[in-house]
Amino acid sequence: MVKLSENKRQTQDKALEKISAPAKAYIPLIQHIGKACSPLVNTGDYVFLGQKIASAEAHVFSPIHASVSGRVAGVQEWPHPVIGRCGTIVIENDRQDRLSGNQGIRESGEVNGLTPEQIRNIIFEAGIVGMGGASFPTHIKLNPPKPVDTLIVNGAECEPYLTSDYRLMVEKTEEILKGIELVVKCVGAKKVFIAIEDNKPDAIKAFEGQRVKGSKGQVRVLKTVYPQGGEKQLIKNILKKEVPQGKLPFDIGVLVHNVGTLFAIYEAVYLGKPLYERVVTVAGSCLQNPKNLLARLGTPIRELINSCAPLKEKPAKIIIGGPMMGIAQFSIDAPVIKSTTGVLLLNKKEARMTEEEFCIRCGACIRECPAGLMPAMINLASQKEMWDKAKAYGALDCIECGLCGFVCPSNILLVQSIKRAKLEVLR
């Protein structure tokens, strides 16, 4: 783990601000880990806000909902912030925000009467995925194949610049606590740890002393280092346990959920609200007015950028996500999706745009790898397309934190090379 320049002051005190819904919403058919969805609507159909518009026949997937009401303009290829391009449902916003009929507030008594299976089904139908960037379907994590004793609430938000989780913890404390209680009911966890880095004193204050119904809850204040927010790092630092290679947290009785996911769970269960909007940090030295924006899914990132105008300088790189794990964009027409945590406009110095050189075998990437891997060797196997070797070196255990490339004196794009290896191994 290393200490990075946080660069959070730009937005850490900026309260959540709702951005207007777009004139056209571009809803990609893949916004989660798992099988891509297929459209449930056709060109010319009228859709309501929150209506399910795409689904799939698979075990691992999450349904997709309309983020505006209006007419379907078509289904077409469109820029995607993660995979380049994909099929996208385009909806012309009628500015009416007419709700689909399945939304409505549930009283506490009604919620208390829900069974774990009913809660999981509500979360599935709401299309909730991991909101910290992983985008794994949440309903699957809430039905683990092994008993879970401990829930860790991930409020670390260790990526530089990003403060969307921080603002949620400060402004939506009660709602997140109710989301925690719902997860506890689903998995039967007896212990809850709310993990927050020590650079977030207001969030720590908001949660200290709060009760979590159904379990013993406590705040754990962690050092501000990167990548503190990784699942396995949190488990090791809080519980002093290690997740074995090739295994998942539930194999040692642990479940980890991001605070944004818990807030979405609250909204789904208590408000009947599908996941059609999320908080996005828009920051970087190129922006005059960086903000934390509550944006509808399908909003082109150019509209988020315009809401923070004027630009102080032309960005050298625009990244969706954080600077360490985010993905550089080729088009600002790419929309906000479920996993969009931030939009960063970075100048050449911030973006560390330097020429790649030959590996000098210094071992820096190996020393800093939080997963205990040998990134240089996985990179070598990837370059030579020796996918069996890449697998043997543990490519699938890479958490893609970006530390290896960050410390590399030769500026080798190690994460990109390892990502390719992971895709080929899985293929």
DSSP per-residue letters across 105-119: PPPHHHHHT--HHHH
Query: Is residue 121 located within the same domain as residue 208?
Result: yes
Across the range 277-285, mean pLDDT stands at 97
Query: Is residue 334 located within the same domain as residue 390?
Result: no
pLDDT of residue 36: 94
pLDDT band with cut points at 50, 70 and 90 for residue 65:
very high
Query: Is residue 251 located within the same domain as residue 143?
Result: yes
Considering the chain, what percentage of its residues have pLDDT values greater than 70?
A: 100
Is 86 a member of any domain? yes
244 DSSP β-pair partners: none
What letter would DSSP give residue 234? Answer: H
Across the range 167-179, mean pLDDT stands at 97
Is 7 a member of any domain? no
pLDDT digits (tens, 9 = 90+) for 320-355: 999 999 999 999 999 999 999 999 999 988 887 778
CB half-sphere exposure, 167, CA atoms < 13 A: 25
pLDDT of residue 423: 83
Residue 180 has pLDDT above 90, yes or no: yes
Flag the least confident range among 10-19, 54-63, 197-206, 213-222: 213-222
Is 235 a member of any domain? yes
pLDDT band with cut points at 50, 70 and 90 for residue 115:
very high
Considering the chain, what percentage of its residues have pLDDT values greater than 90?
A: 84
Is 5 a member of any domain? no
Query: Is residue 154 located within the same domain as residue 216?
Result: yes
Q: Which helix (H) or strand (E) holds 92?
A: strand 84-93
Which of 49, 30, 53, 52 shows the shortest CA–CA distance to 41? 53
pLDDT of residue 348: 87
pLDDT digits (tens, 9 = 90+) for 86-99: 999 999 999 999 99
Query: Is residue 143 located within the same domain as residue 34?
Result: no
pLDDT of residue 211: 83
Query: Is residue 62 located within the same domain as residue 150?
Result: no
Higher pLDDT among residues 103 and 61, named by residue: 61
pLDDT digits (tens, 9 = 90+) for 14-36: 999 999 999 999 999 999 989 99
What is the secondary structure of 154-202 as a DSSP string? EE---SSS--HHHHHHHHSHHHHHHHHHHHHHHH--SEEEEEEETT-HH
Query: Is residue 343 located within the same domain as residue 384?
Result: no
pLDDT band with cut points at 50, 70 and 90 for residue 133:
confident
pLDDT band with cut points at 50, 70 and 90 for residue 266:
very high
Query: Is residue 199 located within the same domain as residue 317?
Result: no
Across the range 243-263, mean pLDDT stands at 93
Across the range 177-188, mean pLDDT stands at 96
Residue 106 has pLDDT above 90, yes or no: no
Query: Is residue 209 located within the same domain as residue 259?
Result: yes
Phi (first) and psi of residue 320, to 5 degrees: -100, 125
pLDDT of residue 237: 94
State pTM to two decimals.
0.93
Phi (first) and psi of residue 210, to 5 degrees: -75, 140
pLDDT of residue 95: 97
- Domain C-terminal end among 243, 271, 299: 271
Is 4 a member of any domain? no
Is 179 a member of any domain? yes
Query: Is residue 266 located within the same domain as residue 287?
Result: no
pLDDT of residue 273: 96
- Domain C-terminal end among 271, 290, 311: 271
Flag the least confident range among 45-54, 227-236, 348-357: 348-357
Is 92 a member of any domain? yes
90 DSSP β-pair partners: 26, 74
Query: Is residue 77 located within the same domain as residue 114?
Result: no
Residue 103 has pLDDT above 80, yes or no: no
Query: Is residue 133 located within the same domain as residue 40?
Result: no
Across the range 308-312, mean pLDDT stands at 92
Which of 298, 289, 351, 292 shows the shortest CA–CA distance to 81? 298
pLDDT of residue 246: 79
pLDDT of residue 419: 87
Total domain count, the chain: 3
Q: What is the CATH number of the domain that holds 114?
A: 3.40.50.11540
Helices 116-125 and 259-271: crossing angle, nearest 10°?
A: 100
Q: Which residue has the tokens 């799939």?
A: 56
Which of 166, 326, 168, 195 shows the shortest CA–CA distance to 257? 195
Is 405 a member of any domain? yes
Residue 366 has pLDDT above 90, yes or no: yes
Is the bond preceding residue 274 a cis peptide, omega within 30 degrees?
no
What is the secondary structure of 286-312 as a DSSP string? TBSS-EEEEEETT-BHHHHHHHTPPBS
Round the average pLDDT of the chain to a whole number and report it. 94
Q: What is the CATH number of the domain that holds 288?
A: 3.10.20.600
Domain limits for position 299 = 17-102+274-348
Pairing of strands 191-197, 150-155: parallel
Across the range 282-292, mean pLDDT stands at 96
pLDDT of residue 213: 81
- Domain C-terminal end among 271, 298, 322: 271
Which of 242, 267, 292, 304 shows the shortest CA–CA distance to 126? 267
